[in-house]
Amino acid sequence: MFLEKILYSRTLNCIKMKKFIYSLSLIFFIVFNVNSQEDISASPKSGHTNNNKFKQLYEEFSSPNRYRTASGAPGSEYYQQKVDYIMNIELDDKNTKLYGEETIIYKNNSPDQLNYLWLQLDQNIRKKDAPALQKNGGGAEPLIPVEVFVSTYFEESFDGGFNIDWVKTKSGSPLKYIINNTMMRIDLPKSIKPGEDFSFKIKWWYKINDHVTNRARSGYEYFPKDGNKAYVIAQFFPRMAVYNDVEGWQNYQFWGNGEFALNFGDYEVNLTVPADHIVEATGDLKNAREVLTSQEYKRYKKAQNTFDKPVIIVSQEEVIEKESKFSEKKKTWKFIANNVRDFGFASSRKFIWDMMAVKVGSRKVMAASLYPKEGNPLWEEYSTLAVAQTLDTYSKYTFNYPYPKAVSVHAKNQGMEYPMICWNYGRPDEDGKYSDRVKFGMISVIIHEVGHNYFPMIVNSDERQWGWMDEGLDTFMQYLTEQEFGENFKESITPYNTYPSRRGEPSKIVPYMSGSQDYISTIMSNPENVFQLGPNAYAKPATALNILRETIMGRELFDHAFKTYSQRWMFKHPTPEDFFRTMEDASAIDLDWFWRGWFYSTDYVDIGVKEVKKYIVSSKPGPEVDKILSYSGITLKDLAPMYVFMVPENENSNTLDKSPIENSIPLKKYIKEKYGNIEIADINIPKYFYEIEFEKPGGLVMPLIVEYSYEDGTKDRIKYPVQVWRKNDKSVKKVLATNKVLIGVKVDPDMETADIDNSNNSWPKEKSASDFEKYKAKIKG
Ligand SMILES: [Zn+2]
């Protein structure tokens, strides 16, 4: 538009006006369509589906409303139910059974009248006839671990599941209920109106499973050498389902992969266990003086004011002493937890216990670990340290950790999270030796599971429906925490320079994203239905967020937006849209294309450089101009005074060494008028004009990051915005004007976009030695 005006005023005298305007617009039309390389298939056309990758996500997103705003924040009428629990629990260690009696106080904050309540009976997934046991196909496997083979084909399957003794109102009259698989509906004698409370009681018991042989997020491990068990217990009581503005009752059955949707509330839990057990749980221990020996209590108090290193409360020697004596007596540990969405506990006489204080903002938080001697020497060295690092890093990027403590419990093969407490793997060999894989696996899983306090324990997303909302965000934060751990404890990560993170770096997601499309699901899938849940819900969203932070938004804008999301939804229930919308709302960066590509599709990144052509300014037009003239009916004489002609270098080699000004009379004239008396030699005039064509075989659009290398050894980096692809989905051309001779072009030189194929990333093509050539070179030595 701008250029057209200049030309119009300058050439008014030359050509009759009407004809000129017509012809000129025709020239522009032709030139535009030749040079812009618009990919017609990618641009919107009436009567066709709009598949533009930059189209806004109106069709995918639910409409904003008074509960959830278009900005991604909770709306003016946002509500959530509150559920308080008072529970008396007894652990029968001899018979491995758990007994409970609970009172549930349900507060209906919704605007709706409720005629029935849904509760979750997750233990029912371990009933002998649970449909979940038959949910997978597969057939005969060529190789099976011995214990799995025996338990599958030789033994009766474990018969767990809840036994419900009764369900009663507060005053003791029985309540009608029906159990459908892992869900229980309680039919109310009178509906619960908005704003009303309803209290009722349930008595239950179940057989505890061995979580090592019967893979589960809860259960016991049996130690045959000393006959003891270590319990890590969760999903152990009937829990209220979530009722909200998004799902109504979230009563999607528990099939095993999709985790949990839970309400916030206050808990008062009394845990009765063998008197020689050590217990840790969600919440503050209210009767430490009663349940600890005087020596343990002294150390426990000392830990509250020790910030430099963990204080051992129960030592390995003391544990070994206890392991052979099985107390017949019982003790009751009393815990109180406020504003938590769940409750878990660990209990064993095998537990060594250490604890230290960590400063979080102006508050003090206790970081603690429980582990059997089988976890040492690894656990006493790293567990509580990793807990403390997690509290520190996560608090920095989200909000200050609001709970009084965070506990890491060692349990074989486990990696599972609950409010304030989690179970983690990482066990040395019997001689106490361990590999780097075991050590970093253990530190990483502790960071990950403690980190889950933030997502989903506090930023309380619906795990049953969206695995990535907690796993992806948590794995992203885990990566940042691991890197900080590496910086803070350099000697602990030797011989590595940085912490060897398994997930987070863009290059690490390439094998997954370049794999067979038959076995890749979109991130926006229910966890029950996805292939490869690990890469799908953990690694890919974590990598996507890392790329957003480093490459697309920049750290400052990303960190602010991520923190805004965390703080907006702290102690609330966010949905994916709330996250997507907040990230844009707080940064002014349109990311619909990113969410669409990375979260709603299984496309991958593959961007390359296809061709480089060198152009120079010429006194004579090239053949393209002839074509334009013949279309438009304008003569060369008309055009010559106002245009600069660019031709491919080899088509006009006689003008090669001259400056563009020497080759173009109108250019020379214009420069003289514009710059007046300044010496032409003082103006920086580019000599070469390189047209670079980039290709995009991959479906994802990404910013085009290019490194240009010149003959004199210098390099330039240019980052073309992702919008460069909005009308050119397959390829795009750019012109580089320079005085230097271009000798190399490299796309994504730092491998920050997860480009799956680097063979097309360079011009001229980098020769990668074939395996055979490498082999020959090796033999030659
Ligand atoms: Zn996780």
Residue 189, exposed/middle/buried by CB under 10 A (0-12, 13-18, 19+)?
A: exposed
Mean pLDDT across the stretch 705-711? 98
Ligand 1 centre from 243 Cα, in Å? 24
* Ligand 1 centre distance from Cα of residue 72 (Å): 24
Q: Beta 363-371 vs 405-410: how paired, if at all?
A: parallel
**367 to 230, 357, 373, 410: CA distances (angstroms):** 20, 6, 19, 14
Express each pLDDT in 581-595 by its tens digit.
999 999 999 999 999
Measured in Å, residue 424 CA sits from the centre of ligand 1 at: 11
User: From the CA of 702, how far away is ligand 1's center (Å)?
Assistant: 28
Compute CA distances 689 → 404, 649, 686, whole Å.
64, 9, 8
Banded model confidence at residue 18, pLDDT cuts 50, 70, 90: very low
CA of 144 to the centre of ligand 1 (A): 26
Distance 466 CA to ligand 1 centre (A): 12
pLDDT confidence of residue 266: 98
Helix (H) or strand (E) holding 691: strand 688-695
Q: What is the mean pLDDT of residues 271-275?
A: 98
Per DSSP bridges, beta strands 742-747 and 762-763 are antiparallel
Strands 688-695 and 645-648: unpaired
| Position 90 confidence tier, pLDDT thresholds 50, 70, 90 | very high
Do the strands 715-720 and 731-738 form a parallel or antiparallel pair, or are they unpaired? unpaired
pLDDT interval class at 538 (50, 70, 90): very high
Cα of 455 from ligand 1 centre, angstroms: 9
Q: How far is the CA of 421 from the centre of ligand 1 (A)?
A: 13
Please give the distance, rounded to the nearest whole angstrom, from the Cα atom of residue 68 to the centre of ligand 1. Answer: 26
713: phi then psi, degrees, rounded to nearest 5: 90, -5
Angle at alpha carbon of residue 58, lines to 57 and 61, rounded to 5°: 80
CA of 48 to the centre of ligand 1 (A): 42
Cα 689 to ligand 1 centroid, rounded to whole Å: 52
CA of 634 relative to ligand 1 center, distance in Å: 68
Residue-wise pLDDT tens digits, 639-693: 888 899 998 887 555 555 678 888 899 998 998 888 887 777 777 889 889 999 9
Give the distance (Å) from ligand 1 centre to CA of residue 181: 25
Q: How far is the CA of 139 from the centre of ligand 1 (A)?
A: 29
Q: How far is the CA of 475 from the centre of ligand 1 (A)?
A: 7
Confidence of residue 12 (pLDDT cuts 50, 70, 90): very low
Dist. CA 577 → ligand 1 center (Å): 21
Residue 232: predicted pLDDT: 98
Instruction: Give the whole-angstrom CA distance, residue 251 versus residue 209.
Output: 24
Predicted local confidence at residue 650, as pLDDT: 73
pLDDT at 779: 57
CA of 701 to the centre of ligand 1 (A): 29
Which residues neighbour 268 within 8 Å (Cβ) at sequence distance 6 or greater?
A: 84, 85, 86, 87, 334, 335, 336
Ligand 1 centre and the CA of 465: distance in Å? Answer: 15
Centre of ligand 1 to C-alpha 259, Å, is: 10
Residues 6+ apart with CB under 8 A from 430: none
Distance 542 CA to ligand 1 centre (A): 12
- Ligand 1 centroid to residue 79 C-alpha, Å: 27
Say how many Å lie between the CA of residue 461 and the centre of ligand 1. 13
What are the start-end ranges of the E strands in 127-276?
163-169, 176-180, 183-192, 197-207, 219-223, 228-233, 239-240, 243-244, 248-249, 265-274
Model pTM score: 0.92
Q: Is the omega angle on the peptide bond into residue 749 within 30 degrees of 0, that is, cis?
A: no
Residue 360 token pair: 């979080």
> Percent of the chain beyond pLDDT 90?
78
Tell me, letter by letter, the H, E, C secondary structure of 317-364.
Answer: HHHHHHHCCCCCCEEEEEEEEEEECCCCEEEECCCEEEEEEEEECCEE
Task: Give the pLDDT band of residue 152 (cuts 50, 70, 90).
Answer: confident
If you measure from the C-alpha of residue 469 to the centroid of ligand 1, how many angstroms do you get, rounded to a whole number?
10
How close is the Cα of 471 to the center of ligand 1, in Å? 5
Residue 2's pLDDT is: 37
**Predicted confidence band of residue 571 (pLDDT cuts 50, 70, 90):** very high
CA–CA distance, 197 with 495 (Å, rounded to integer): 59
Provide the β-strand partners of residue 240: 119
Per residue in 521-543, is it b (16+ CB within 10 Å) or e — as a string? bebbbebbebeebebbbbbbbbb
At residue 777 the predicted structure's pLDDT band, cuts being 50, 70 and 90, is low
Compute, in angstroms, the gap from residue 472 CA to the centroid of ligand 1: 8
Rounded distance from Cα 521 to ligand 1 centre (Å): 19
488 C-alpha to ligand 1 centroid (Å): 24
Phi, psi values for residue 397, rounded to 5°:
-95, -10
CA 414 to chain CA centroid, Å, is 21
> Would you say the C-alpha torsion 30, 31, 34, 37 has a positive or negative sign?
negative
593-609 average pLDDT score: 98
724 Cα: distance to centroid of ligand 1 (angstroms): 37
For residues 705 and 721, give the distance between their C-alpha atoms in angstroms, rounded to a whole number.
Answer: 9
- Cα(390) to centroid(ligand 1), Å: 14
Enclosing H/E stretch for 9:
helix 2-10
Which tokens sit at 213?
């042989």
Three-state DSSP state, 58:
coil
Q: How far is the CA of 193 from the centre of ligand 1 (A)?
A: 37
Distance 118 CA to ligand 1 centre (A): 26
Query: d(Cα 445, Cα 452) in Å, to the nearest integer?
Result: 11
pLDDT digits (tens, 9 = 90+) for 455-470: 999 999 999 999 999 9
pLDDT at 36 over 90: no
Residue 478 CA, ligand 1 centroid: distance in Å: 10
pLDDT tens by residue, 471-488: 999 999 999 999 999 999
773 vs 425, which has greater pLDDT? 425
Ligand 1 center from residue 182 Cα (angstroms): 22
Give distance in angstroms: CA of 452 to centre of ligand 1: 6
Q: What is the pLDDT of residues 98-147, one digit of tens each?
A: 999 999 999 999 999 999 999 999 999 999 999 998 898 888 989 998 87
Q: Indicate the angle between helix axes 436-451 and 378-397, nearest 10 degrees.
A: 40
Structure tokens at 634: 């304008």
Structure tokens at 319: 């544990």
Q: Mean pLDDT, to the nearest integer, of 705-714?
A: 97
CA of 298 to the centre of ligand 1 (A): 35
* Distance from the alpha carbon of residue 114 to the mean position of ligand 1, in angstroms: 33
User: Minimal CA–CA distance to 300: which of 321, 278, 319, 320?
Assistant: 278
Separation of 449 CA from ligand 1 center, angstroms?
Answer: 6
pLDDT tens per residue across span 61-84? 988 999 999 999 999 999 999 999
CA 710 to ligand 1 centroid distance, Å: 47
Q: How far is the CA of 261 from the centre of ligand 1 (A)?
A: 14
pLDDT in tens, 614-639: 998 988 888 888 888 888 888 888 88
CA of 236 to the centre of ligand 1 (A): 19
Q: What is the pLDDT of residues 724-742, one digit of tens each?
A: 999 999 999 999 999 999 9
Instruction: Tell how far the Cα of 496 is from the centroid of ligand 1, in angstroms.
Output: 25
Measured in angstroms, how far is the CA atom of residue 162 from the centroid of ligand 1?
A: 26
| Position 517 pLDDT exceeds 80 | yes
Taking the centre of ligand 1 as the mean of its atom positions, its distance from the CA of residue 287, in whole angstroms, is 31
Rounded to the nearest angstrom, the distance between the alpha carbon of 357 and the centre of ligand 1 is 25
Please tell me what DSSP assigns to residue 548: I
100 Cα to the center of ligand 1, angstroms: 28
Residue 151: per-residue pLDDT: 80
Residue 235 gets which letter from DSSP? S
Whether the per-residue pLDDT at 41 is higher than 90: the answer is no
Q: How far is CA 147 from CA 42, 86, 446, in A?
A: 54, 39, 27
Q: From the CA of 416, how far away is ligand 1's center (Å)?
A: 7
Q: In angstroms, what is the span from residue 448 Cα to ligand 1's centroid?
A: 6
Q: Is the pLDDT of residue 23 over 60?
A: no
Centre of ligand 1 to C-alpha 454, Å, is 11
Which DSSP string corresponds to 659-679?
-HHHH-HHHHHHHHHHHTTS-
* 3-state SS class at 709: strand
Burial zone of 339 (CB within 10 Å; 0-12 exposed, 13-18 middle, 19+ buried): middle
How far does the centroid of ligand 1 lie from the alpha carbon of residue 109, in Å? 30
**Which pLDDT value is given to residue 46?**
47
Q: What value, to the nearest 5°, has the Cα angle with vertex 743 and ends 740 and 748?
A: 110
10 Cα to the center of ligand 1, angstroms: 67
CA–centroid distance, 534 to ligand 1, in Å, is 10
415 CA from centroid of ligand 1 (Å): 7
CA of 618 to the centre of ligand 1 (A): 63
**Ligand 1 centroid distance, CA of 233 (Å):** 17
**pLDDT tens-digit readout, 407-420:** 999 999 999 999 99
Mean pLDDT of the chain: 91
Cα of 389 to ligand 1 centre, how many Å?
Answer: 17
For 324-337, the pLDDT digits (tens) are 999 999 999 999 99
Greater confidence (607 vs 46) lies with 607
Bridge partners, residue 167, by sequence: 202
C-alpha distances (whole Å) from 396 to each of 171, 556, 563, 651, 777 are 48, 13, 9, 60, 50
Ligand 1 center–CA 569 separation, angstroms: 19
CA of 36 to the centre of ligand 1 (A): 46
Q: How far is the CA of 470 from the centre of ligand 1 (A)?
A: 7
Range in 85-99, 257-271, 658-672 with the lowest mean pLDDT: 658-672
**CA 332 to centroid of ligand 1, rounded, Å:** 31
Sequence-ordered list of residues with C-beta below 8 angstroms from that of 333, at least 6 positions apart, any chain: 270, 271, 272, 273, 279, 281, 285, 287, 291
Q: What are the C-alpha distances in Å from 711 to residues 604, 659, 708, 714, 743?
A: 34, 19, 10, 7, 6
DSSP category for residue 108: -
